Chain A
Amino acid sequence: MMRQENTDFGSSPTGLPQSLGSEIRAVLKRPDLTDETLLAALDRDTFPVTACLSLSDFKRGLGQPEQRLRLIRCLAVPAPQHGLEMPEHDLNPPLGVRMAPFVRLWQRLQPAARAQMKQVPVTARNQ
């Protein structure tokens, strides 16, 4: 059975019929795909050539459901845009940085190693 012609052109500012966008997103399970991305995927140069359905017919919502499904599954869409932070680790830091833990340890140990009497308040001498 042929689908109804899609007349829902005005619903998106990019010119992509809203129902077509929803259909593609649902089939590809990619709600993150924007209208611009889908329009790029529906570009004539990359649109998959199938004998059964032309690009204009597809955009108008024509064709059998299986044909449309097959066609949507042949669309080249970009990978999900969900990046991770990847901090760079310096594996060859300068000697000062590498020795910093030892310097800190030395600085912590130093007061303890000093003679105790220096920490005792000096008693005032009678003049």
Chain B
Amino acid sequence: MSRITALALTVIFRRLAMLIIALCLTIAASFLFATVVQADGFDWLDVVRIALMAIAAFWLAWGGCIALFGILFPPEAPPRGPSLPEGRTAILLPIYNEATAPVFARLEAIMRSVDQLRARDRFDFHVLSDTTKLDVAAREQAAYHRLLTKRGAGGRLFYRRREKNIGRKAGNIADFLTTSGGAYDYMLVLDADSLMDGDTILEMVRRLEADPRLGLLQSLPRIIGLNTLFGRLLQFATSLYGPYFARGLASVQGREGAFWGHNALIRTRAFAASCGMAPLTGTPPFGGHILSHDTVEAALLARDGWTVRLDPDLTGSYEEAPANMVDYAKRDRRWCQGNLQHSRIMAAPRLRFWSRISILQGIFAYLASPIWLVFLLTSLAAPLVASPPVYFDGRSLFPVFPHPETATALALLFGLVALLILPKLLLTIRVLLSGEARGFGGARGVAIGFLLETLLTSILAPIHMMFHCRSVFQVVIGADSGWPTADRDDGSLPLTAALSATWWMVLTGVAAIAFSHEYVPELFYWLLPVALPLVAAPLLVWLTASVWLGRLTRRLGLFTVPTDTCPVPVADDMRQALEEMAVA
């Protein structure tokens, strides 16, 4: 049996195992829930609730399985090409009305890192601007000429600006391919907030050259450079759990891996031949240009027989992320529209099975929140529509009391909480046992970080859920989000901004508490863990956006990540470049 066949069989076996585990857990949760809800009689609302519970439980179980598989199946060592690559690589930086100085500081840091390689002549840099604001465009051109002169990068550093950003980022990349793509064998697609180490870029090229069927290689970007409390929480969670989740994903993806739109190396000719996407018929949000193009591009490459692979062991790949919950929700709003739009291409011809599953996962990442919300609402309504208990059914002289299902309800509750927490706990134990804890502030740092992270994310979860619900609602009623520019300053928020973003959650939370107190008092205390964070949403959003609190956690040694204790040279170079720009 060839190696490729053996690998394919292994992947099929893992996928089946994951499906069976997730289905078993879903059936168990649904059975327990059905036992609980039929205690006071059975009506149509119960059927809806059981169905919603089954979907939500499957989603939770699926996530848990990915984490478990990340522990069980470490990645195999990939083959590598020659140390000096033969092909030429274009490093692409698509930008759109971004803050100019940080973008060019990042580019300078990457250039410095690449220039230290022996193979530096094999890499060119392209700034692909889609900027529509003329003042920003003027600043970009000035920054380009300054960097060009500073690095002496004539013939290696290019800048071009499209006046109309047709097709957005996908259109920007397509424009590069149709004008200059033929001059390069590979392209490294970055984002405005990407940072990559030269050695990692070289390693990616070597891996691509070693496998002629490898069309796209995705690295695992680590989040860095955040100073707010929310940002440090995000950094800690992604650093601690992210690599294992990525391993779990990679273990079942096989040749139909993921593309996250940036920090990935792509074979230009394969991409050009396979990934041109016609706009969907109709108008946005479901028609028009495909927004979240990355998932679709990965599917299209796989459709044409190219391997798309995620290599979680590729370190030296970094990105920044929204530093507060409002910016996070803004980005999610954009991604939500893109992912829901994918519902129209789920049945696109010739897509591979797992590519369709990946697209479905993307859609479900946003539908999960409305499902939970409808589940909560139906649970609040259920006691109101339930028929009164029948004590005398005519078969006995004595009253028959409903069978209490408290033990079953508690078992279900603990089961669901376990599905939420157990994967993280397992990963934390894995980190403690593998000696990786030093980077996270030692065993104590990992343990306290895990507890605090679990507590804080549980408190913030209802707020995320409401933001997601609003996004889905807006997309469904046909509101087009457009592409708002990401705000990437220090990330803090004034209380007024937090209030204007979340006032409607406060009303929802207060209404839910009042309703529950008045009409379904038996659920009052059960509802509080969801409703109270909503009532306190402005305060929570504002506090988590605090840079002061973020720095305090750093001083206290909380949410420590490896990049805190072991500086990242490329990030230091970026900071230095930014300071030099400020002086100039």
Contact = CB atoms under 8 A, between A and B. Distances in A.
A98 B290 CA distance: 19
Given A85-B273, A89-B300, 16 more contacts: A76-B154, A78-B158, A79-B176, A82-B181, A82-B183, A83-B177, A83-B178, A84-B177, A84-B181, A84-B273, A85-B272, A87-B273, A87-B276, A91-B296, A91-B348, A92-B344
A86 B154 contact: no
Interface residues of B, number: 42
Contact of B345 (A30, A70, A91): A91
A86 B183 CA distance: 15
A79 B160 contact: yes
30 contacts: A30-B155, A70-B152, A73-B154, A73-B155, A74-B149, A75-B154, A76-B145, A76-B154, A76-B159, A77-B158, A79-B124, A79-B180, A81-B180, A82-B181, A83-B177, A83-B182, A84-B182, A86-B177, A86-B178, A86-B181, A86-B273, A88-B277, A88-B278, A89-B277, A89-B278, A90-B278, A91-B277, A91-B280, A91-B348, A92-B344
A81 B145 CA distance: 21
Given A89-B300, A92-B281, A98-B347, A82 B182 contact: yes
B167 to A, nearest CB: 10
A95 to B, nearest CB: 10
Nearest to A78: B158
Nearest to B173: A86
Contacts of A87: 273, 276
Contacts, number: 102
Interface string A51-78: 0000000000000000000101111111
B144 interface: yes
A72 B148 CA distance: 11
Interface in B100-155: 121, 124, 126, 144-145, 148-149, 152-155
Interface in A82-118: 82-93, 98
A46 to B, nearest CB: 7
Contacts of B153: 73
A30 B176 CA distance: 18
Nearest to B157: A76
B149 A48 contact: yes
B179 interface: yes
Q: Which of B145, B155, B158, B344 counts the most A-chain CB atoms under 10 A from its CB? A: B155
Given A29-B155, A92-B281, A78 B344 contact: no
A91 B160 CA distance: 30
Nearest to B155: A28
Given A77-B155, A79-B179, A98-B349, A84 B272 contact: yes
A27 B155 CA distance: 9
B269 interface: yes
Contacts of B176: 79
Contacts of B178: 83-86
Contacts of A28: 154-155
A39 to B, nearest CB: 15
Nearest to B268: A84
Chain A interface bracket (under 10, 10 to 19, 20 to 34, 35 or more): 20 to 34
B25 interface: no
Q: Which of A28, A29, A76, A84 counts the most B-chain CB atoms under 10 A from its CB? A: A84
A19 B277 CA distance: 45
Interface in B243-294: 268-269, 272-278, 280-281, 290
Interface of A: 27-30, 46, 48, 70, 72-93, 98
A72 B154 contact: yes
Nearest to A50: B149
A20 B152 CA distance: 18
A107 B180 CA distance: 45
A127 B341 CA distance: 71
Contacts of A91: 277-278, 280, 290, 296, 344-345, 348
A72 B290 CA distance: 41
A75 B152 CA distance: 8
B158 A79 contact: yes
B182 A93 contact: no
Contacts of A77: 154-155, 158
B540 interface: no
Nearest to B287: A92
B175 to A, nearest CB: 9
B57 interface: no
Contacts of B281: 92
Given A77-B155, A78-B158, A91-B296, A84 B277 contact: no
Contacts of B181: 82-84, 86
Given A73-B155, A77-B154, A92-B344, A86 B174 contact: yes
Contacts of B124: 79
B547 to A, nearest CB: 38
A85 B275 CA distance: 11
B84 to A, nearest CB: 17
A21 to B, nearest CB: 14
A74 B147 CA distance: 9
A3 to B, nearest CB: 19
A86 B276 contact: yes
A90 B159 CA distance: 31
B379 to A, nearest CB: 37
A78 B280 CA distance: 33
A92 B300 CA distance: 13
A126 B564 CA distance: 102
Contacts of A83: 177-182
Q: Which of A85, A93, A98 counts the most B-chain CB atoms under 10 A from its CB? A: A85
A83 B268 CA distance: 11
A77 B180 CA distance: 13
Contacts of A85: 178, 272-273
Nearest to B286: A92
Given A70-B152, A73-B152, A83-B181, A88 B349 contact: no
B180 A48 contact: no
A107 to B, nearest CB: 18
A79 B126 contact: yes
Given A30-B155, A74-B154, A89 B276 contact: yes
